Amino acid sequence: MDHHWAEKHSHLDTDLDYFFMLLNEARKATAAPPSIFQSSGKPVMPFLTAENITKQFQRRKKKEGVWGTLTLLLNPEYEVINAVDDISFAVDQGEMVGYIGPNGAGKSTTIKMLAGILTPTRGRLEVCGLDPCRSRKEHTRNIGVVFGQRTHLWWDVPVIDSLALLRDIYKGPEAQYRANLSLFNDLLGLHEFQHVPVRQLSLGQRVRADIAAALQHNPQILFLDEPTIGVDVISKDKLRRFIQQINRDRKVTVILTTHDTNEIEKLCPRVIIIDQGRLIYDGSVDNIRAHYGSERVMTVEFEEEIADFELPTAALLKSEGRKKWYRFNRFDTPVSDLIAQLSAHCGVVDLTVQDREIEEVIRAIYLDKAQKMRD
Ligand SMILES: Nc1ncnc2c1ncn2[C@@H]1O[C@H](COP(=O)(O)OP(=O)(O)OP(=O)(O)O)[C@@H](O)[C@H]1O
Ligand SMILES: [Mg+2]
């Protein structure tokens, strides 16, 4: 693990440990909250609102060279950074929202504020009708939190005993515990490793156990901070289906941060993109595609190898043997026109048309907006 990573995440051990301690204390002390569902299944109060939230951190300044280091050692100087900078958004009951952005954008800081771990420097938060910090005890009953990089479970205790301990802490009904256990067995394959102590679990197993633990008290909302970091493709797939199912069947609202755009595409109809603490996009993935992903790429295989040529409405991207790649705008150029123009040059054996990869599109948004913010 590199030095910068460790330095950047050194705060995790303190504030998360503290949070999980509070979480368990709070759950012990609080009665089950009233359901926010009416019998019709409609929410009776607004779900999640973030209004102009800002989180500032103080950071020790660094200076180049021995002299700079020495001066700062004797006389430390601090700078204030806006990890989250005036962000507003609202989430409805049952939504699944991807909260994405490059490293250091402020995603985990936002999740920690939503979970009541950190207090915003400015702004207002309301989750299930409560202020996450002021009503921390009641709030922790409504939420489930998973940090992919940290476990919430007891290190030396087998998974099944951890879940039983949590059941005793929550004082939830036995029937609910049994029903959840059977769901977790079916969908997360928990029985495969339920008697293994948490410290001996593989990363994928540990995350599955953590998600089961976070959902055991039937929370209304689930915050997932990079839940599948370092998890293999098959386990990722399992987790994805599970998250989809609890969102669909139990109407659990999900806020998910991830660097995996494939996961976003498969799970989240809506994304919020942040960069350097600022909100740069809030809307549907389809909209991103429509606005930023108007470009398509056509791959053509000709009957024989021919010289490169441009077309009036498509740019040649690359050429390899009998294949050529052309970029065109899906709204300005009908595919049939392109085929006609290409066939005029040489017989076409095969062709495929692809949208620009969503990953590429999101990268373009980061770069574009970050540049505009700097200008
Ligand atoms: N406790 C803290 N003290 C000082 N600075 C912090 C603290 N927590 C976060 N930061 C800083 O705030 C900024 C946002 O950090 P955050 O962890 O929210 O980013 P992120 O979007 O989750 O990034 P990543 O994708 O790497 O997980 C970073 O510059 C980070 O160094
Ligand atoms: Mg993070």
Q: What does the DSSP assignment read for 86-99?
A: EEEEEE-TT-EEEE
Looking at 128-252, which runs of residues are DSSP E strands?
A: 143-147, 221-225
Residues 166 and 209 reside in one and the same domain: yes
According to the model, what pLDDT value does residue 51 have?
96
Residues 190 and 213 reside in one and the same domain: yes
The answer to whether position 81 is within a domain reads no
Provide the domain limits for residue 122. 3-46+91-289
Residues 239 and 308 reside in one and the same domain: no
According to the model, what pLDDT value does residue 36 have?
36
pLDDT of the chain along its 375 residues, tens only? Answer: 334 433 444 444 455 565 566 556 655 555 444 433 333 444 445 589 999 999 999 988 777 778 877 787 787 788 899 999 999 999 999 999 999 988 899 999 999 999 999 999 999 999 999 999 999 888 988 999 999 888 888 888 999 999 988 888 877 788 989 999 999 998 888 999 999 999 999 888 999 999 999 999 999 999 999 998 888 888 888 899 999 999 999 999 999 999 888 888 889 999 999 989 999 889 998 887 776 667 788 999 999 999 999 889 898 988 999 999 998 888 788 888 899 988 888 899 999 988 766 667 777 777 766 565 555
Residue closest to 210 by CA, chosen among 191, 232, 190 = 190
According to the model, what pLDDT value does residue 24 have?
60
Tell me how far apart the alpha carbons of residues 243 and 135 are, in angstroms, rounded to a whole number: 27
Looking at the chain, which runs of residues are DSSP E strands?
A: 48-60, 78-91, 96-100, 122-127, 143-147, 221-225, 253-257, 270-275, 278-284, 295-302, 314-320, 323-329, 348-355
The answer to whether position 77 is within a domain reads no
Residues 258 and 310 reside in one and the same domain: no
Residues 285 and 334 reside in one and the same domain: no
Answer yes or no: is the C-beta of 352 below 6 A from any ligand 1 atom. Answer: no
**What are the residue ranges of helices labelled H in 256-334?**
261-267, 285-292
Residue closest to 301 by CA, chosen among 335, 373, 352 = 352
Tokens 């005993």, residue? 161
Q: Which ligand is nearest to the CA of 99?
A: 1
Q: Is 232 left (phi over 0), alpha (psi -120 to 50) or beta?
A: beta
Tell me how far apart the alpha carbons of residues 146 and 230 are, in angstroms, rounded to a whole number: 14
Tell me how far apart the alpha carbons of residues 284 and 337 are, in angstroms, rounded to a whole number: 30
Answer yes or no: is the C-beta of 151 below 6 A from any ligand 1 atom. Answer: no
Pocket test for ligand 1, best of 4, 8, 110 (most atoms within 8 A of CB): 8
The answer to whether position 128 is within a domain reads yes
CA of 110 to the centre of ligand 1 (A): 10
Answer yes or no: is the C-beta of 276 below 6 A from any ligand 1 atom. Answer: no
Residues 200 and 281 reside in one and the same domain: yes
Strand partners for 98: 256, 271
According to the model, what pLDDT value does residue 126 have?
96
Residue 156's CB: how many other CB atoms inside 10 A? 11
Domain count for the chain, please give it: 2
- What's the pTM? 0.77
Answer yes or no: is the C-beta of 59 below 6 A from any ligand 1 atom. Answer: yes
Task: Specify the DSSP class assigned to residue 39.
Answer: T
- CATH code of residue 325: 3.30.70
Tell me how far apart the alpha carbons of residues 274 and 107 are, in angstroms, rounded to a whole number: 8
